[in-house]
Amino acid sequence: MRLVAAWLMLSSGALHAADLNLQQQQAATSLKQLVEINTTHSVGDTTLAAQAMADRLIAAGLPKADVQVLTQAPRKGNLVARFRAKTPNGKKPILLLAHTDVVEALREDWSMDPFKFIEKDGYYYARGIVDDKAMASIFVANVIRYLKEGYQPNRDIIIALTTDEERGQVDTNGMNWLMDKHRGLVDAAFALNEGGGGQIRNGKKLLNGVQAAEKVFQSFTLTVTNRGGHSSQPRKDNAIYELSQGLMRISQYDFPVSLNEVTRNYFGKMSQIESGQAAADFKAITQQIPSAEAVARLSKVAVYNSTLRTTCVATMLEGGHAENALPQTAKATVNCRILPGHDPKDVLATLKRVVADDQIAIVPVLAARPSPPSPLTPEVFGPIEKLTQKMWPGVPVVPSMSTGATDAIPLRSNGIPVYGVSGLFGDIDDVRSHGRDERILAQSYYDGLEFLYQLVKELTR
């Protein structure tokens, strides 16, 4: 294994170079073990993954009473482990959160076995190696390192490795369940989670991102019913046509631009990183009244458009019951990603107004869960800034809002701030999470290992 960087040998305190190399090997062994356990929803088993990491922590000296594998369904295990402060001082714990379940991966879709740990050309490959088993293995490896060093934190450090994060709203076994049934085990002052990370372009580190907010997931069904009839005698009142017209009106509508503390800070920082028209547009969007031209240009880029506003898009469609019959029912699913603070009831009212057809019934699929932005508090951002400049001088820390969803939702909705930060850098133009040949730079993994080791120490001194 390579050493992370020369400065690590100088800054690692009691650890010598040989010991640091051993630490890297132990972390990589944990990562290899995790990715080679299939944890997909269809046939995988997150209980095996949770137990494997529990065994490592117990073998390193964490008391068995402080290491629990919790399940409410077969193959759906969560690990919750607590590294206790030696002298409690009333500070609430810090929560280190990662999920071990992964999205499906078919062997025929990959150029290699997705459930084998493979090193090639400076990368590590496997399903879930980025999302999210790198962080899971790092948290476990670093707590083991603290134990070996005899480190005494000023507050408890909790590790939660969860199941079913990839199932989103239908998760009833992972963090939603832990918060509902075992909140005392995971309650914390704040949590570190996925969702952030560093970005590289053409080999240059651009920024170290910290996810401090995410949009709210809410789907709606749009349904048209009709008396139907024989296809040989068509009429203008066709359920499929009527639904299609409603969907087209949604496709042509843009919700208004609305920035919060996190996204305003994000665009402000990006205006200093980028150049030319992009920099000017990022700066313009943060003004009290942003220029329509800047809004129009940024709205053409999917990720910026999703950061600027609530979005709704048709994702599923079904209709009719026979090829020789007029459709009696046509149904679509429209998935909305709602800005924090934007009331889902207002989104529903907007959809009804835009569709402008009382024959199209619009109904929420499940109740949305609020996800307020986490405050950009100096207690958390100060150490992140300090450590980022120590490891990667000149690389800015940029808060961001995820347009997708993570396990942060049940925490933020219950008053626990969450910060997606990892120190794991990846190519901004080659994102493979959930995709073919998912991979992480080996050097990035070890940099992230050290970054999170030092960050958690800074937050628990």
- CB contact at 8 A, 193 and 408: yes
* Residue 272, H or E segment: helix 261-273
Q: How far apart are CA 73 and CA 49, in angstroms?
A: 15
pLDDT at 1: 36
For residue 206, what are the β-bridge partners? Answer: none
**Would you give the DSSP letter of residue 48?**
H
> What confidence tens digit (pLDDT) does each residue in 95-114 have?
999 999 999 999 999 999 99
The CATH class given to the 6-214+371-459 domain equals alpha beta
Half-sphere exposure of 383 (CA within 13 A, CB side): 18
Q: What is the pLDDT of residue 106?
A: 96
For 328, counting Cβ atoms within 10 Å of its Cβ (0-12 exposed, 13-18 middle, 19+ buried), the class is middle
Distance CA 371, CA 413 (A): 5
In terms of DSSP bridges, do strands 329-338 and 397-402 run parallel, antiparallel, or are they unpaired?
unpaired
pLDDT for the residue 16: 53
pLDDT digits (tens, 9 = 90+) for 14-59: 445 556 688 899 999 999 999 999 999 999 999 999 999 999 999 9
| CA separation, residue 77 to residues 154, 161, 433 (Å) | 29, 9, 22
Q: What is the predicted pLDDT for the residue at 397?
A: 98
Q: Per DSSP, what are the bridge partners of residue 314?
A: 334
Which of 450, 379, 406, 419 has the alpha carbon at shortest distance from 191?
Answer: 419
Strands (DSSP E) found in 72-215:
77-83, 94-99, 118-120, 123-125, 157-162, 190-193, 197-201, 204-214
User: What letter represents residue 138's amino acid?
Assistant: I
94, 456 contact by CB (below 8 A): yes
Return d(Cα 272, Cα 437) in angstroms, integer. 33
- Top-tier CATH class for 216-364: alpha beta
User: Can you give the pLDDT at residue 277?
Assistant: 98
d(CA 193, CA 179): 16
How many Cα atoms sit within 13 Å of 414 on the Cβ side? 19
Closest residue by Cα to residue 212 from 425, 456, 455, 420:
420
CA neighbor of 309 nearest in space, from 258, 354, 270: 258
User: With contact defined as beta carbons under 8 Å apart, do 163 and 386 qualify?
Assistant: no
Cis omega before residue 132 (within 30°)?
Answer: yes
**Contact 74/80 with Cβ under 8 angstroms?**
no
β-strand pairing of 311-319 with 439-441: unpaired
pLDDT 10s per residue in the chain (461 long)?
333 443 343 333 344 555 668 889 999 999 999 999 999 999 999 999 999 999 999 999 999 999 999 999 999 999 999 999 988 788 999 999 999 999 999 999 999 999 999 999 999 999 999 999 999 999 999 999 999 999 999 999 999 999 999 998 889 999 999 999 999 999 999 999 999 999 999 999 999 999 999 999 999 999 999 999 999 999 999 999 999 999 999 999 999 999 999 999 999 999 999 999 999 999 999 999 999 999 999 999 999 999 999 999 999 999 999 999 999 999 999 999 999 999 999 999 999 999 999 999 999 999 999 899 999 999 999 999 999 999 999 999 999 999 989 999 999 999 999 999 999 999 999 999 999 999 999 999 999 999 999 999 999 99
How far apart, in Å, do the first and last CA atoms of the chain sit? 30
Domain boundaries, the chain: 6-214+371-459, 216-364
* Tokens 């996190």 sit on residue: 262
Chain length of the chain: 461
Tell me how far the alpha carbon of residue 36 is from its chain's centroid.
Answer: 21
Domains 6-214+371-459 and 216-364 equal at CATH topology level: no
Yes or no: say if 133 and 155 are a contact pair by the CB < 8 Å rule. Answer: no
Closest CA to 164 of 44, 338, 33: 44
Torsion of CA 421, 438, 337, 334, to 10 degrees: -170
